[in-house]
Structure 1
Amino acid sequence: MPETLVIAFGLFFLLEGILPLIFPSIWRETFKKVTEFNDGQIRFFGFFSVLLGIMLILIAN
């Protein structure tokens, strides 16, 4: 179980790092736009991400 968790975090960081590695200017502009969102919009994206993650985990099992 612990090695699966480490692999999951590794994949997370790998995927999160691709955009700033390849397209740093696009990543910077996107990050600036996200900082302008209100709390409700950020919570919606967070909820959607959690829901999508749960669905993917359930599908994978």
Structure 2
Amino acid sequence: MWHTLLVAFALMIVMEGILPAIAPAAWRRAVANLIKMDDRTLRMMGLGSMLTGAGLLYFLS
């Protein structure tokens, strides 16, 4: 189980690094836009992301 969690964490880090590596200017603009968003919008985006990930895990397993 620990091996699977570490593999998932490593893949998450790889995915997080793709955009800054390929298009750093676009990444900066995206982060600047996130800073301007209110807390409620960010929470809803986070919740949507978590639900999407949980749904994917459900269908894949």
The TM-score normalised by the length of structure 2 is: 0.98
Correspondence 1:10 to 2:10: yes
CA shift at 1:18, angstroms?
A: 0.2
Q: Percent identity?
A: 36
- Across the two proteins, how many residue pairs are aligned to each other? 61
Any residues of structure 2 matched to 1:41-56 within 5 Å, and which?
41-56=41-56
Superposed CA RMSD = 0.4
Compute the displacement of 1:48 (Å).
0.1
User: Structure 1 unaligned runs (5+)?
Assistant: none
Report the CA distance between 1:27 and its aligned residue. 0.1
Once residues 22 and 49 of structure 1 are traced to their aligned partners in structure 2, the CA distance between those partners, rounded to angstroms, is 22
Instruction: Please give the TM-score of this superposition, normalised by the length of structure 1.
Output: 0.98
Aligned position for 2:57: 57
Shift of residue 52, structure 1, vs aligned partner: 0.4
Match of 1:28 in 2: 28
